[in-house]
Amino acid sequence: MDPARVAKKHDYITKENGPYIANGCMRTLRAIYNHARKTNRLLPPDNPADAVDWNEEKRRDTGMGASDLTEWFRELAALENPVRREFHLLTLLCGSRTTALQQVKPSHVDFRRRTLHIEKPKGGRKRAFDIPLSREMILCLIRAIRFGRQMYPLQSRKWIFPGDSASGHLAETKEDRDTLSKWGNDLRQTFRTIATAAGVSEFDAKLLMNHSIPGVNAGYVTRHKLLEDHLRSQQQAISTAVFSAIGKMLTKDAALRDWLGRCASRCVIGGQQMKRGDLGEDQDRIPHAA
């Protein structure tokens, strides 16, 4: 009964937390109130969030181009925690939301089909989907599993990206911008940018990111029929473009060479002590798949 209080709260959140978070909070309040009115007609018909003067929002243009990737890879190689390092790299290579990647499990990786199952994406389980894996993504996952087992023996039994949080997996993936300039949604935008530069169509990029496809014709596309061949080739084209952008730095820069160099990758694969119970029957196929 006091919409002015809601408007005042919106102004306060804007000042303390920023315009985007303030708008997001009020959109959530508006949705909750509308849902509550479905079962309680005694509530006033006017939504209290209608009193809010919405902050202007602009799409944040924070993605990187190919020329920006060399410096970003140097920053990433310098991260002290190797599990977090592989997490950010995988975010870039697949363009997935961080909240979904945080919760991936060893059982979600199918090295035979070369897919990563995203069980709880935005939209819930009904929107679950498989991400086709490029060679670089497979190596990234193998390194993450190896480092996770070394650093978090207990948590790594359940999670690919384990951590010290109450859940047992990485819960906070933000980094100091002075340490790592781009992370999270920045990397999703970078994925779309690099995909365009690699010649991947907007339609295929949306399928890879599990975005909704507008239009009637999209309903006739069966995504999983494209997964094994077409979408994987598009995914590989994006990963190839990412690593081509850093070019000779893989051999010239010591930190990058020790992390991503050809010999380093073979050592990582050769050092795997993967149990059959963790990754299923495909454990012996991991080096071949990579």
At residue 20, φ and ψ (nearest 5 deg) are: -70, -45
pLDDT of 125 reads 76
pLDDT of 284 reads 37
At residue 105, φ and ψ (nearest 5 deg) are: -120, 160
Alpha helix (H) ranges present in 122-220?
A: 135-151, 185-197, 202-208
C-alpha count within 13 angstroms, C-beta hemisphere, residue 121: 17
pLDDT of 289 reads 41
Where along the chain do its domains lie? 3-51, 66-289
Decide: 143 and 82 in contact? Cβ < 8 Å. Answer: yes
Residue 237 CB neighbour total at 10 angstroms: 18
Of 90, 116, 93, nearest to 104 by C-alpha is: 116
Q: How far apart are CA 24 and CA 29, in angstroms?
A: 9
Decide: 33 and 26 in contact? Cβ < 8 Å. Answer: no
pLDDT in tens, the chain (290 residues): 888 999 999 999 999 988 989 999 999 999 999 999 999 988 999 999 999 999 988 766 788 999 999 999 999 999 999 999 999 999 999 999 999 999 999 999 999 999 999 987 776 777 788 899 999 999 999 999 999 999 999 999 999 999 999 999 999 899 999 999 999 999 999 999 999 999 999 989 988 988 766 654 554 455 666 777 888 999 999 999 999 998 888 888 888 888 987 666 555 545 544 443 444 433 434 444 44
Q: How far apart are CA 116 and CA 230, in angstroms?
A: 16
pLDDT of 248 reads 83
pLDDT of 223 reads 61
